[in-house]
Amino acid sequence: MGIVETMIGIIVILCVFGSIICKRLVKQYAQDPIRQTEKDKDFALNMSFLGKWFRFLAFFFTVSYFIYIKVQGTPWQAHLQEWMDLIIRWLHIIFGIAWIGASFYFVFLENSLNRSNVRDELQGNLWAIHGGGFYFLEKYKGAPNKMPKHLHWFKYEAYFTWLTGTCLLIIVYYFNAESFLINPEITHLTPVLGVMIGISSILISYAFYELLSNPKMLAVERRPLFFLVMFIYLAIVAYVLSIFFNPRAAYIHLGAIMGTMMAGNVFFCIIPAQKEMVFAAKEGREPDVSLGQKAGWRSYHNNYFTLPVLFIMISNHFPSTFGNEHNIIILALLSLAGAGIKHFHNQWERGETNYWIIPVSISLIISAIYITAPLSREDLINAEKVSFSTIFPIVQKRCQSCHSKIPTDDVFIVAQGGVMFDTPEQIVQYKDQIMNRAIITKTMPQGNKTRMTQKERDLIETWIMQGAKLD
């Protein structure tokens, strides 16, 4: 049984068991007369909703399995996989924009509230104008005296961003583990073992984050220590993953780790704290204020995670980052720069100005640009001449299976990026891209699927440095 069948089987089994457990919990909480508090009713509704999603996912992946078996080995296999990748990636971006936009907006509200001359029950208010209209927002210290009939919850943006991101990770990196996850030049892991390492890295890292996020470590005087420990830990994880996986997969897994921490903050901390406020208001009791304090901390964590995660999301389009031999250093520099810029922005909204943060962040970005600069290889110009007749067979053997008008690769059914190497003129046209991807960053062929050797890369580099001339 292959990696795809194994992954689908595990997902379906987990969804079926999850659905059964949710159904039993709903029955227990709905029928037990003792469990009729607002909290228990809400829990039953959540379990009912979750059970429906488990059943949907079980149905979806079961149908996907039979379709996969039907089209396996035909051109439709790669075609359907590409469209699934496109649709889920599209949804992931849509939900991600909604989630990050809400995160930015509410941190802005918190930083920009007018806190003077407000009613005793309020923490602050804010006037705003947008879309041709004026808005007036008020933040209560606790719950209002009378709960509104309709209360909007900002949670599904986070949940569906994580769900679509997880599906994308499975489809792109786990279903195609041999091409995208594992680099045979780096390690000889089997696809199944590679997938297990990837999933374990996410779960272990989330557990570490939860253990570290205790009240003592999140106290104001220890927050710098918290962020330092978290940064060092993530840097170590990224380095370890780069040992097992190809660099692009290592980057994406670190993004998945931080994304899981962010979604976990919403699901396990922020939303429960908000629900506690609602339950307390409905039951006429004082809420547990410590939960709201923890939720506020986690919300700020998510806010600082956003720019590093966004960089990782787009990094797979820029091999100069993940494909560089110092890729982990580049990741660390740009993540620190992103977090620094977000910190300056947060302080600026509060009326504070630590201008030194901006030049430091820009310096980190410039350092990354300098590290990734190509080395001069002028010595190759005077080396023994390499003719195009030597290069063309290498390109045909190692590159044309993906970069052709009619690709023969089992995954890519269209030329990636529209780049084709069918004619000598096309190869010369894309010589700079070949230099960047196949020589400098060595990110092509993808996962070195066609087993391009270092000697072949050296020949191509010499040919390009000598002017990329046709014989």
Does position 454 have pLDDT exceeding 90, yes or no? no
Distance CA 293, CA 142 (A): 12
pLDDT of the residue at 127: 95
- Gyration radius from the chain CA atoms: 26
State the sign of the Cα–Cα–Cα–Cα dihedral 73, 185, 317, 464: negative
Cα–chain-centroid distance for residue 82? 19
Provide the token pair at 25: 């919990």
Instruction: Report domain extents, the chain.
Output: 1-72, 73-371, 378-465
Give percent of the chain with pLDDT exceeding 90: 35
pLDDT of the residue at 309: 94
3-state secondary structure of 138: strand
DSSP assignment string, 396-438: HHHTTTTSSSS---SS--S-GGG---SSHHHHHHTHHHHIIII
Provide the token pair at 311: 């960089």
Distance CA 288, CA 272 (A): 11
Q: Are the CB atoms for 361 and 337 separated by under 8 Å?
A: yes
The two beta strands, 133-140 and 122-130, are antiparallel
Beta bridge partners of 124: 139
Alpha helices in 284-430 (DSSP H): 289-315, 319-322, 327-349, 357-371, 388-398, 424-429
Distance CA 412, CA 432 (A): 22
**What is the band of 384 on the pLDDT scale with cuts at 50, 70, 90?**
confident
pLDDT of the residue at 33: 64
- Tell me: cis bond preceding 445? Omega within 30 of 0 counts: yes
Q: Report pLDDT digits (tens) over 41-95.
A: 788 888 888 899 889 888 988 888 888 888 887 778 778 888 888 899 999 999 9
pLDDT of the residue at 34: 63
DSSP assignment string, 197-219: HHHHHHHHHHHHHHHH--TTTTS
**What is the band of 292 on the pLDDT scale with cuts at 50, 70, 90?**
confident
**What is the band of 1 on the pLDDT scale with cuts at 50, 70, 90?**
low
Report which listed range, 159-168, 279-288, 438-447, is most confident.
159-168
CA distances from 87 to 80, 165, 199, 372, 410 (A): 11, 12, 23, 33, 20
Q: Report pLDDT digits (tens) over 159-175.
A: 999 999 998 998 889 88
Q: Are the CB atoms for 421 and 399 separated by under 8 Å?
A: yes
